[in-house]
């Protein structure tokens, strides 16, 4: 592709985010590359592995206790994206810090750990345990607080709609991450996202991750009922790109915070739109589910 004249940044070079140097600006979004343990044994004619050029893998979200996730079906591909109601299926913080995180360090995966909880004090306890185990790890760079998952009954999307709650969650985690970056991932399912971003930054967040999925519903015409057992799910993919750009622009212009842009990125052109608005990094989500090399391809094209 022909890069625009204003683009002068190599996204595969290290950059500073809060107290941490991150290996690059093109990341995979939470849940879209598992925990970062898969794909190390595959290659393509153009890439030695799907991790080539990737600045960080944001892990599948981890919760205080293991979760089995929501009943099937919980993922539906739609014409312009995907609707999911995974329900935060994960191994829980105990297994993650004892088994998963050490393996990520051994493999050299640049890692941002995604965490979700239903109370602020749980975020504090999980970040404390992470740092106690991995405080000397070279490849664990920070935490992304998932304050906006729209498909969990406990807390759900309403959990992250309150500026006070966002601030409390960030404030609980911040003291336990003195040398790692802390991101707050915010919901787009609000009229204005800037007040939430203000609250997160004031409480100590180094950056805002925006956006999470948009609440959506699909109908199964054979039964006349919602396709997903929990009715609603999180809608992602190309259709939400303009929504994500609008929310990122609102945060950059009204808050002035560092923003990691997420939502509908499938090509290098999509990523450039976020950078044009002032994002410091981007995350590739749904496109990574279709092509494990999607993020590596975007990083390569923007490095030319």
**pLDDT digit string, tens, across residues 141-171:** 999 999 986 544 444 445 788 999 999 999 9
DSSP state of 16: E
Look at the block and give the residue holding tokens 């890692």: 111
Q: What is the Cα 258 distance to its own chain's centre?
A: 15
The domain locations on the chain are 15-303
- Report whether 115 contacts 88 (CB < 8 A): no
Q: What share of the chain is helix, strand, coil (3-state, %, to 5)?
A: 35, 20, 45
Q: How many C-beta neighbours within 10 Å does residue 125 have?
A: 17
Give 197: exposed, middle or buried? Use CB within 10 Å, 0-12, 13-18, 19+: buried
pLDDT for the residue numbered 156: 42
pLDDT for the residue numbered 256: 97
Element (H, E) at 58: strand 56-58
> pLDDT tens per residue, the chain (304 residues)?
789 999 999 999 999 999 999 999 999 999 899 999 999 999 999 999 999 999 999 999 999 999 999 999 999 999 999 999 999 999 999 999 999 999 999 999 999 999 999 999 999 999 999 999 999 999 999 999 999 865 444 444 457 889 999 999 999 999 999 999 999 999 999 999 999 999 999 999 999 999 999 999 999 999 999 999 999 999 999 999 999 999 999 999 999 999 999 999 999 999 999 999 999 999 999 999 999 999 999 999 999 7
Closest alpha carbon to 25 in 247, 278, 257, 197 = 278
Please provide the CATH number assigned to the domain covering 15-303: 3.20.20.70
Chain segment 228-260, per-residue pLDDT in tens: 999 999 999 999 999 999 999 999 999 999 999
- Report whether 59 contacts 112 (CB < 8 A): yes
Alpha-carbon gap, residue 172 to 262, rounded angstroms? 24
pLDDT for the residue numbered 35: 97
Give catalytic residue positions.
Answer: 149
Query: Omega before 211 cis (within 30°)?
Result: yes
């Amino acid at each position: 592709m022909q890069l625009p004249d204003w683009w002068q940044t190599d996204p595969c070079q290290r950059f500073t985010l809060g107290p941490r140097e991150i290996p690059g600006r093109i990341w995979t979004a939470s849940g879209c590359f598992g925990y970062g343990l898969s794909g190390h044994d595959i290659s393509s004619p153009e890439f030695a592995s799907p991790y080539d050029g990737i600045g960080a893998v944001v892990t599948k979200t981890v919760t205080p206790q293991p979760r089995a996730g929501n009943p099937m079906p919980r993922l539906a591909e739609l014409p312009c994206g995907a609707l999911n109601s995974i329900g935060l299926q994960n191994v829980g913080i105990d297994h993650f810090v004892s088994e998963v995180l050490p393996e990520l360090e051994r493999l050299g995966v640049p890692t941002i750990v995604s965490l979700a909880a239903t109370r602020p004090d749980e975020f504090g306890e999980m970040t404390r345990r992470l740092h106690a185990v991995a405080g000397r790890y070279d490849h664990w760079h920070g935490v992304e607080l998932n304050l906006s998952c729209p498909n969990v009954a406990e807390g759900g999307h309403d959990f992250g709609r309150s500026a006070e709650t966002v601030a409390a969650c960030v404030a609980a985690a911040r003291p336990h991450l003195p040398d790692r970056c802390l991101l707050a991932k915010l919901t787009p399912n609000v009229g204005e996202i800037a007040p939430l971003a203000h609250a997160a930054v004031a409480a100590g967040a180094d950056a805002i991750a925006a956006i999470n999925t948009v609440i959506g519903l699909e109908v199964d015409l054979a039964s006349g009922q919602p396709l997903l057992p929990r009715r609603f799910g999180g809608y992602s993919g190309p259709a939400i790109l303009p929504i994500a750009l609008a929310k990122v622009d609102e945060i950059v212009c009204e808050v002035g915070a560092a923003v990691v842009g997420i939502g509908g990125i499938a090509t290098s052109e999509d990523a450039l739109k976020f950078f044009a608005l002032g994002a410091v990094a981007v995350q590739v989500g749904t496109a990574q589910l279709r092509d494990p090399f999607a993020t590596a391809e975007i990083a390569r094209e923007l490095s030319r």
